A and B are shown apart, each in its own frame.
Chain A
Amino acid sequence: MIVRRKWAAPVLALTLATTGCGGGAGDKPAVAETFELTETTPAATGDVESVTWALPSGEPASLDPARTGDYSANTVGTNLCESLLRLNTDYSTSPGLASEVTQRDATTVVITVRDKVTFWDGSPLTAEDVVYSLKRNLDPKLASYSAHVFANVASIDKTGPLEVTVRFRTPDVQFVPDLAGVPGAIIQERYATKAAAAFGTASGGLMCTGPFRLGGWQSGQKITLKRNDNYWDAARKARAATFQFVFLTDSSTLTSALLSGEVDGVYGAPAGGMATLRRTDAGKLYFGPSTETVSLGAVAAEGPAADPKIRQALDLAIDKRSFVLSVLKGAGEPLKTFTPPLAWSGSPAKSVYDAGYAALPDTSKADLTRAKQLVTEAAPSRRDLVIALPAGDQSLLQTATIAQAAAQQIGLTMTIKQLQPAEFAGLFYDPTLRNGIDFIATTGYLEVPGALYYAPGFVLPGAPFNWTNYEDPDVTKNIGAAVSATDPAASARAFVAAQAIYGPAKLQITLAESYNRLFLNKRITGAPASFSYISSAWAALVGTA
C-alpha cells in the first residue's frame, strides 16, 4: 500500500449525512476527519469465484469504445477492450497492446503492435485491427466520443507487419498518453464490421483481447464478464472467474447493498453513505488520488464573466476548504488550477510540473477584502450574473448555491439556472445556447495522463472550450511549444510557463479535487484505489483478501 498524501481537515463539527438506511449515522464528536490516500489496495492472495460490483451511474449505454466516455461504460469496458498503452495507478503509462509507442518527431508516432496477442475467439491481433480501431474515430458518421483526440491526425497506416504509423497535421504530444485511454482501445475489425450498428450493445456484443470477455448483458439487469483463460499476460490474468455488474443508481439502496454484502464493491461510493461505510465491518472504504474536479467555468465572451478581475474576485470570495467540507464531505482538497497534479504524477518531468504548480498563487482561503477591491477595480457593466448547471445534480446545485452566496458578499447577484440534460449538453457545441449564461457549474475528470489534456482546448484562440475568447500571445506561444516538444522536460517547461500566465486568469474557477471513493467487501481486495481505474483493466486484479 502506497500512502501518497495525507490531509487533515481543520477541526470542525462535521454534519454527517444520515443515509436513512441507519446504522446509527448521526452526530459525531468534533474530531478532525483524516483521509488517508492510497493508490492501491493490498494485492489479492487468491482466485475468487464471483464478484458483484455496482455501477452507481446506471447501465452503460454501450460498450463500443467509440461510445465509451463516462463512468459506467469505462468501469466495465476497459476490462474487456484493452488499449495500446496501460494506465498505472500513479497515472504513468506502460506498454499494453502496443509493445512500444514512439514519438518519432513532433508529427509522427510509431506504434509497434504486440506479437502473439489473441482475441477472445483465438484469432491473432493484427496491425490491420489497430489501424481499423484507430481510424474509425475519424468517421463523422460514427460520431466517436474520442473524435477530438484525433482532430490533428493526418493519416493512420500500416507500415510493417506489426507496425502502425500515425502522422499529424499539427504537432500533438498529448496523443501518445491518450492511447492509454479509450481512444487507444482495440477491437476486432471482422467482428465489428459484421455487427455494424449493434456492435457494443446488449445484443451485438464485442470482440476484444482483455482479461475478461463479455459473458452476458441482460438489459436493465446486469452485465456479466467471464475470465479470458487465454489472456496474453500471465501476470495480469483475471482473479475472478465471473465479474458481475449491477446497476444501482439509488444511493441509499446501494449503501444498504454494500452493508449487507449483496454487492462486493463500488467505485464512486455514495458520499451520503460515507460515514456509515467508513464504520462498517462488512468491508473497507478507501480514498485515492483522483483527477476529478469541481469547477465554475466562465462561458461568456462578454460581460462580467469575461473580465479576469471578476473571475479572480469570485475565486477569492469562495472558501475552498469549507467547500470541500460541505459538498465533498471532506473527501477532497482545493486545487489551484484546472489540471490536477495526478495528471502529471507519472511523467518523467514530474518535478518541473510540481514546481510550476507550487508557484501558482494559493487562493484556497477566502479573502473578501481583496475580492471586493477587485470588483471595484473591474467596475463591471452589470452586477447580475447567471450560473447554469444540469438539473437534478444535487452536489452541483450545492456548489452553485455556495458560489451564489460568495457572489453576494462581494456585491454581485448570481441567479441559478437549472438546465435539462439535452440543453446543458447543447451548451458545449452551440454558442447561441450560452447566451444569457455567464458561468456553468461543472465536474470533470482526466481519463488519461497529460498536462496538455485540458489546456490547449481552454486557452488557445478559437479552441473548443475557450468561450471567453481568452487570448495571450505568450500563452499561445508556450502551449504551441509544449505540444510540439518531443522531450518531456522541454514540454513541461513550456507548459509551466503558460500555466503561470493563464492559471491566475481563472478561466475556470477550479474549486477542488474530489478523492476517488472505493468500497471493497472484506472478502476481496486488489482493486486500484486511485482514479486510474477509469482507464485500466482493474477488475482482473480483484481476488480474495
Chain B
Amino acid sequence: MIGFVARKVAAMLGTVVVASVVIFGALYLAPGDPASILAGGHEVTPATMAAIRAQYHLDEPFWAQYWHWVSGLLSGDPGTSMVLKVPVTTLIGARIGTTALLVAYASVLILVLGVALGVLAGAGGKVVDGALTAGTTVLMAAPAFVAAILLIWIFATRLAWFPVFGSGDGFGDEIYHLTLPALALSGGYLAYVSRITRTEVRAELAADHVAAARARGVPRWAVLRRHVLRNAAPPILAVSGVTVAGLFAGTAVAEQAFGVSGLGSLLVQSAARQDLVVVQVLSLLLVTAFVVVNVLVDLLNAALDPRLVKA
C-alpha cells in the first residue's frame, strides 16, 4: 500500500512540475510585452520601460525567469499582481474560501442529487426513467453561462428568492448567495453522474446474483443496497471524482456570471487584464487542485477495492 501511495504522489508531483513549465512557458510565449501592461497602457519613456523590465526580471532568459518564479512559489511568495500591485497571496487568500465553499456546495449537489436521480432512473419505472432521461439531456446540453442566465431570470429577477449577484457575508448568507451559482455550476456534471449511475444500476440489476437474491425473496430495497449499489459504487465514485476535480475549472464561468468574488472570477479578470503573475499562479493552483482530487479518488477506490493496489 505504501508503495502504491508513493507512486501516486510521485506521479502527482511530476504532473505539477510539468504543468508549471507549460503554464509559465505558454504565458512567456504569449504575444505582447508584459511591460506595457505594467506601464498601464499609457505613454512611457524607454527608460521607464527598461526600469520596469529590470524590476520584474523581464529582461532575463526564460529559465532564469522560470527559476525566479518557482523559487518564489516554494518560499511562499508567488509575487505581486502586475495590475493591482497587491501580493498574489493576499488576492488568493481573500477569495479561496468562497471558491472552496462553492465547489463543496456543487459537489454535494452532484453527489447527492446525481446519484439519487441515477438510482431512481435505474430502478424506477419507465415513466420515471423517461422523465429523468429527458431532464438530464437538457441539463447536459445547457452550458453553465446559459444556465446562469436562466437561473437569474427565474429565481432572482422573477421570483426574487435568491440574490442576483455577490458572495455574501457569514456562512448562512454565503450559502444563500452561492445557491444559484452552485446550481449553474453543477447542472451538467450532475446530469452526467446521474447517467453513469443509471447505467451501472441497470447493469447490476440485470446481473445473475441480483436475480438470485430476488428469487430468494430478499426485499427490493435490501437488494438495491446490498447487491446493486455496492457493486455499482466504484465506477460511480471514479466518475464523480473526476467531475468534482473538474469543478475547479468550471468556477470561472459561474463566478463571473454571478459576480461571485472567487478564484475563478479572479482568473477571468486577470486574464483579461493580462496580469500574468496572477494568471500563472492561479492556473497552477487549479491544475494542482485537479491532480490532488484525482489522487484522493484513486486512493479511496484502492481502499474500497484492494485489488487495485496490486495492479
**Is chain B found bound to chain A in the same assembly?**
yes
Residues of A within 8 A of B (CB): 20-23, 58-59, 61-62, 67, 69, 140-141, 143, 145, 147-148, 197-198, 201-203, 218-221, 246-250, 252-253, 256-257, 259-260, 262, 392, 419-426, 428-430, 464
When chains A and B are docked, how far (Å) is the Cα of A145 from the Cα of B40? 7
Q: A23 contacts which chain B residues (CB < 8 A)?
A: 157
When chains A and B are docked, how far (Å) is the Cα of A201 from the Cα of B81? 11
* A22 touching B257, Cβ below 8 Å: no
User: Of B111-119, B160-168, B199-207, B301-309, which binds chain A?
Assistant: B160-168
User: Of B47-55, B124-132, B234-242, B282-290, which binds chain A?
Assistant: B47-55
* A256 touching B156, Cβ below 8 Å: yes
User: Of B1-9, B16-24, B269-277, which binds chain A?
Assistant: B269-277
* B160 touching A260, Cβ below 8 Å: yes
Q: Known contacts A220-B266, A262-B164; is A61 also within 8 Å of B31 by CB?
A: no
Q: Known contacts A219-B94, A260-B157, A429-B36; is A147 also within 8 Å of B86 by CB?
A: no
* A22 touching B157, Cβ below 8 Å: yes
* B32 touching A61, Cβ below 8 Å: no
* B258 touching A253, Cβ below 8 Å: yes
List 3 tightest A-B contacts by C-beta distance, closest first.
A422-B32, A220-B261, A425-B41
Q: B32 contacts which chain A residues (CB < 8 A)?
A: 419-426
* A220 touching B95, Cβ below 8 Å: yes
Q: B262 contacts which chain A residues (CB < 8 A)?
A: 220
* A429 touching B86, Cβ below 8 Å: no
Which residue of A202, A220, A248 has the most chain B CB atoms within 10 A of its CB atom?
A220
Q: Known contacts A21-B153, A421-B273; is A246 also within 8 Å of B43 by CB?
A: no
* A221 touching B272, Cβ below 8 Å: no
* B43 touching A59, Cβ below 8 Å: no
A-B CB pair tally, cutoff 8 Å: 156
Q: A145 contacts which chain B residues (CB < 8 A)?
A: 40, 42
B30 close to chain A: CB less than 8 A: yes
SS of A interface (majority): loop
Q: B148 contacts which chain A residues (CB < 8 A)?
A: 253
Residue of A nearest to B261 (CB): A220
A-B contact pairs, 11 of them (CB 8 A): A20-B149, A62-B84, A140-B45, A147-B42, A219-B86, A247-B259, A249-B259, A252-B152, A253-B164, A257-B164, A422-B34
Q: Known contacts A201-B84, A419-B31; is A429 also within 8 Å of B164 by CB?
A: no
* A61 touching B83, Cβ below 8 Å: yes
Q: B266 contacts which chain A residues (CB < 8 A)?
A: 220
* B272 touching A250, Cβ below 8 Å: no
**Inter-chain pairs besides A143-B42, A250-B257, A250-B259, 10 sampled, C-beta below 8 Å:** A62-B85, A140-B45, A141-B48, A147-B44, A219-B91, A262-B166, A421-B274, A422-B31, A423-B32, A429-B43
B101 close to chain A: CB less than 8 A: no
What is the CB-to-nearest-CB distance from A511 to chain B, in angstroms, rounded to a whole number?
22
Q: B51 contacts which chain A residues (CB < 8 A)?
A: 140-141
